[in-house]
Amino acid sequence: MKYHKPKTFEEAAQIAAGSNGVTRFLAGGTDVLVQLRSDVVTPDDLIDIKGIDGTKAITKRGDGGWDLGVAVSGAEMMEHAELKRDWPGLVEGMDLIGSTQVQGRATLVGNLCNGSPAADSVPGMIAAGCTVSITGASGTRNVPVEEIPVGPGRTALTKGDVISAVHIPPRGARGGDAYLRFIPRTEMDIAVVGCAVNLRLDGDEISEARVVLGAVAPTVVLVEDAAKAIIGTALDDGALDALGATATAACNPIDDKRGTIEFRRDVAAVLAKRAAKIAYSRAKGGQQ
């Protein structure tokens, strides 16, 4: 195994492109190091990107949106009051991952690139409409987060691609987001079902919405029918029922040690409704 510590993302991409074996990028290391120690993955080239300038920066853009470096940890996001005020759902999703110790290292991009359908930070990123910059052989391109996961443990990134930044849209007026996950315990667990809702209000009515489910299909899913079920409504009981039904319909889960198909379909509806209520209340200025 070779350990690399490049100074730029271009250099990191070149090292990856030139590798003849298994490549892993190291930022927080909370997945890579665990996989390495448990013999799940033994990389030939381990490329440490957290020494690259700007990877620890949280920057507010002129348009009111945010740029996050790829080594920004969950703890740093949680302690950033303004970011948390803008995107509480996204930040809380990240905060649910692992323990206090893990939070000191774990990153959004690591969670995304691990490719787990149960990744807690990914539904919130997709619901918010986040994009990522990808630096590759042919330069840097900007890609919506929902295009990155393609299957359990698999992403759309190709050899020589490295994610170099996360971009969160401006919050804007009368918007709110929320993320809920179901676990049998209270913490230190993995989502059996996850759901993020991001919406905007016009008066009491929802004018924009994105509903995203985790752990109910081979990838995190953006459920357009669920968004349609609540757009144009004030989240009345009928809208909530429709939201639940569309969430259930969007599930394509498996039976496994963590939950049954039936359970995941039922709970997807429950979490979609609960998350939508929180997002709605936040959009109205509620502190929930």
Partner 1 sequence: MALDSGKPKFKYIGTRPNRPDGLDKVTGRARYGADISAPGMLHGAILRSPHAHAKILKIDASKALALKGVKAVVTRADFADGLSGEDWNIQENCMAGEKALYDGHAVAAVAATSALIARDAIKLIDVDYEPLPHVTDVDAAMAEGAPVIRDGAADYSVPEGLHPNVVRYFESGRGDLDEGFAKADLVLKRHYTTEAAHQGYIEPHACLAQLGADGKGELWCCTQGHWYVRQMCAAALGLEVSQLKVTPSEIGGGFGGKTTVFIDPVALALSRKAGGKPVKLVMSRSEVLRATGPTASASMDIKMGMTKDGKITAASGTYRMQGGAFPGAPVDETTVLAFANYNIEHVHHVGYDVMSNRPKQAAYRAPGAPMAAFGTESIIDEMATQLGLDPLEIRLKNAVKEGVRATYGPKFPAVGLIETLEAAQSHDNYAVPLGPNQGRGVASGFWLNWGGDTSASVAISEDGTVAVTVGTPDIGGSRASMALMAAEAFGIPYENVRVHIGDTASLGINEPTHGSRATYASGLAVIQSAKECIQKLSKRAAEAWGIDPDAVIWEDGFARPSGPNAGEFEPMSIAEIAGNMSSSGGPISGHFEASPETYGGSFGTHVVDVEVDPETGRTTVLRYLVVQDAGKAIHPSYVEGQFQGGAAQGIGWALNEEYIYGEDGRLQNPIFLDYRVPVASDLPMIDTVIVEVPNPGHPYGVRGVGETGITPPLPAIANAIAAATGVRFTKLPLTPPRVLAGIKAAKNA
Main-chain dihedrals φ then ψ at residue 141, nearest 5 degrees: -125, 160
Which C-beta is closer to partner 1: that of 38 or that of 138? 38
Rg (the chain; Cα; Å): 19
Return the number of the residue (27 or 267) whose C-beta is nearest partner 1: 267
Shortest spacing between CB 113 and partner 1, in angstroms = 19
Q: For partner 1, give the closer residue by CB, 83 or 276.
A: 276
Judged by beta carbon, residue 116 or residue 135, the one nearer partner 1 is 116
Buried b (16+ CB within 10 A) or exposed e, 102-112: bbebbbbbbbb
DSSP for 59-88 reads EE-TTS-EEE-TT-BHHHHHT-HHHHHH-H
Q: Work out the number of other CB atoms within 10 angstroms of the CB of residue 256.
A: 10
Least distance in angstroms from the C-beta of 274 to partner 1 = 9
**Least distance CB 271 / partner 1 (angstroms):** 8
The CA distance from 266 to 195, in Å, is 13
Contact residues: partner 1, CB under 8 A: 38-39, 182, 184-190, 192, 256-260, 262-263, 266-267, 270
For partner 1, which is the closer residue by CB, 69 or 259? 259
What is the distance of C-alpha 182 from the center of its chain? Answer: 16
- The CB-of-190 to partner 1 minimum distance in angstroms stands at 6
Measured from the CB of residue 51, what is the shortest distance to partner 1 in angstroms? Answer: 25
